[in-house]
Amino acid sequence: MTEPAGGDQAERNPAECPFEVERAIMVHEWLTLTFLHWSFAPEDVQRLLPPGLEVQTVDGRAWVGLVPFFMKVSLPRTGSVPWFSQFCETNVRTYVRDATGREGIWFFSLEAARLSAVVTARATYRLPYFWSSMRLRRDGNTVRYDSRRRWPGPRDAVSSAVIEVGERYAPEELTAFDHFLTARWVLFSSAGGHQRFARAAHAPWELYRARATEVHDELLSAAGLPTTTDAPLVHYSPGVKVRIGVPEGRRRVT
């Protein structure tokens, strides 16, 4: 299993994207977003990864995130259409490195409340999107996320979380571990024995202290992960605007 890379990567500001996406295929806004993370034995995560990807660890533990938020999607020079491109989303993800040393995210699943987005993402980015009934509500410093999977199976996998948002972190308070969990710029996908990646560029996260007062989640177990009763590590952000690049680097892996 791999630890975070050192060298030049450690010397740059880990909160800042190391590249630009000049010709974005889409522009996203990820809003009212919460990172909930749990640690697992590396072998429990590695066995769920495709060939060519190796789980990254910190202090000998792999980390899996449950990330609910509100999504807005637009093309680079057009606005979004509310009934079509604004919806709730929740993803289950871990942190990996490919055979070239490139670091990024592997998604076990992505729930979205818009069927058209699910079909498009499955076809173009080969990402494991699922159509779900979802709701996001905010009342002062309390945020509630609810999700129930519709299609494809396993159907009726549910997830809910209630988050209490606290004070904002000053940039100098954030640790290398905070950035390991949140500042990720590449996503991987795999289909038919071929692996690809795409870039996602955005400004540094504006992160807040937060705690989960209620969590009931079946998405991690639906992905094949062991059941955990540990309290999650929580970060909250009001959101970022993200430029998404075209899929790159299609290569055969075995």
Cα(166)–Cα(184) distance, integer angstroms: 23
The whole-model pTM stands at 0.92
Which sequence spans correspond to the domains of the chain?
22-248
Which residues does the chain have with pLDDT short of 70? 1-10, 78-84, 154, 254
Cα(235)–Cα(210) distance, integer angstroms: 6
Cα(94)–Cα(168) distance, integer angstroms: 25
- Residue linked to tokens 């779900």: 132
Question: Regarding the domain delimited by 22-248, which CATH topology (the fold level of the hierarchy) does it fall under?
Answer: Acetoacetate decarboxylase-like (2.40.400)
Cβ-proximal residues to 169 (8 Å cutoff; 6+ apart), any chain: 178, 207, 208, 209
**According to the model, what pLDDT value does residue 3 have?**
55
pLDDT digits (tens, 9 = 90+) for 95-146: 999 999 999 999 999 999 988 888 877 887 789 999 999 999 999 999 999 9
Q: In the 8-state DSSP scheme, what is residue 172?
A: G
**According to the model, what pLDDT value does residue 79 have?**
63
Task: Provide the CB-side half-sphere exposure for 89 (13 A, CA).
Answer: 25
CA distances in angstroms from 203 to 15, 56, 226, 241, 254, listed in the order given: 8, 23, 34, 8, 35
| Long-range CB contacts (within 8 A, 24+) of 152-155 | 154/222
Q: In the 8-state DSSP scheme, what is residue 154?
A: S
Q: Coil, strand, or helix at residue 106? A: strand
Pairing of the two strands 129-139 and 103-112: parallel
Cα(93)–Cα(110) distance, integer angstroms: 9
**According to the model, what pLDDT value does residue 6 have?**
41
pLDDT digits (tens, 9 = 90+) for 205-227: 999 999 999 999 999 999 999 99
Q: Compute CA 67 distance to the chain's CA centroid, rounded to the nearest angstrom.
A: 6
**According to the model, what pLDDT value does residue 122 have?**
80
